[in-house]
Chain A
Amino acid sequence: MSIFEYNGSALVSMVGKNCFAIASDRRLGVQLQTIATDFQRISKIHDRVFLGLSGLATDAQTLYQRLVFRHKLYQVREERDMKPVTFANLVSALLYEKRFGPYFCQPVIAGLGDEDKPFICTMDSIGAKELAKDFVVAGTASESLYGACESMFKEDMEPEELFETVSQALLSSVDRDCLSGWGGHVYVVTPTEVKERILKGRMD
């Protein structure tokens, strides 16, 4: 079994009209055994930037701690929050530092940039960025997520419709992957508010 499939994960982020959604599954496993059914894969860096980390959970936690440290330092020096593009560059740089002994994570970064323009990107475990205008996926269920998102995505969805689309795509994809599932965690972020919702799906 690949090291990326040790814990199991599913992450998806989609762009809507002046908003974005980022969603993950809730399972934490050790190969085929399920350890936790309430694992948080998505963290808030600040009100307008969210980070999801798929892959090996221990590396995800370490990477998250390092990134929070770097962001706090940035806030002290610059007296403001990091823009999503800048944060993505920071994640990419941190991952490439470990080019020959990498963190086994695939991050998904989502945020609202200048003029409230939604920004999403993903990268591989050594920091190769992939910007997208529509959606990005990561985790063991990534192939299923690609298919589901490609069929369900529409341009310029309002927050409520975006939530429905992301939820349906996430739940149908994790149902086809034995290493991810046990519900879903969806954040829908607009310039004015952040709505966090828990999804109930197949608990297997």
Chain B
Amino acid sequence: MASSGFQADVKALQKHLAARHLIYQHQHNKQMSCPAMAQLLSNTLYYKRFFPYYSFNVLGGLDNEGKGCVFTYDAVGSYEKVGYSSQGSGSTLIMPFLDNQLKSPSPLLLPARDAVTPLAEAEAIDLVKTVFASASERDIYTGDKLEIVVINADGIRREYMDLRKD
């Protein structure tokens, strides 16, 4: 889960979800799948509808079949499964470029089209690095360093990249 906004609320939210995940593991003897965690996050956020967590989240992971999924949220728990998303102060700079490169089908189309974007892992990582470099140029709050968490069948790994330090 990647979160932007008020860091204290982000920390509290992550702590809450980690605790709920641990309980799930004790009760069900398995890890939560991404769609399950997506619903839990939504419910957790809406629970505080009238005193919200000031946290703008993007959830990424693998579902039960091992396919990648991305869920995007607002601060009170409205969520949607998408092919790509961005949140935070740099999101207005990043989203149009992702739209242009990834051309995801509209969720209103019938029959419903899969939102998964046709990118290989290396291409996706490259795209992420490009958009963050661009966002750091023009958004004063974005920069310093980038952490990319890559989740695939082999497990989880982290990659780091330096960004503009101003």
* Chain A residues near B (Cβ < 8 Å): 143-148, 150-152, 168-169, 171-173, 175-176
The answer to whether A176 touches B94 (Cβ under 8 A) is no
Q: Do A148 and B96 touch (CB < 8 A)?
A: yes
Chain B residues with CB under 8 A of A143: 92-93
Beta-carbon contact of A172 and B134 below 8 Å: no
Q: Are A175 and B137 in contact (CB under 8 A)?
A: no
Subset of 22 A-B contacts with CB under 8 Å: A143-B92, A144-B95, A144-B96, A145-B96, A146-B93, A147-B90, A147-B93, A147-B94, A147-B95, A147-B134, A148-B93, A150-B93, A150-B134, A150-B135, A151-B97, A151-B134, A152-B97, A169-B96, A172-B100, A175-B99, A176-B92, A176-B99
Residues of B within 8 A of A (CB): 90, 92-97, 99-100, 130-131, 134-135, 137-138
Pair B95/A168 contact, Cβ less than 8 Å: no
Q: Take A151-B130, A151-B131 as given contacts and tell me if A172 and B96 are in contact as well, using a CB distance cutoff of 8 Å.
A: yes
CB-defined contacts of B135 to chain A, threshold 8 Å = 147, 150
Q: Across the interface, which residues of B come within 8 angstroms of A145, CB to CB? A: 96
Q: How far is the CB of A132 from chain B (nearest CB, A)?
A: 12
Could you say which residues of chain A place their CB within 8 Å of the CB of B93?
A: 143-144, 146-148, 150
Nearest A residue (CB) for B93 = A147
Residue of A nearest to B100 (CB): A172
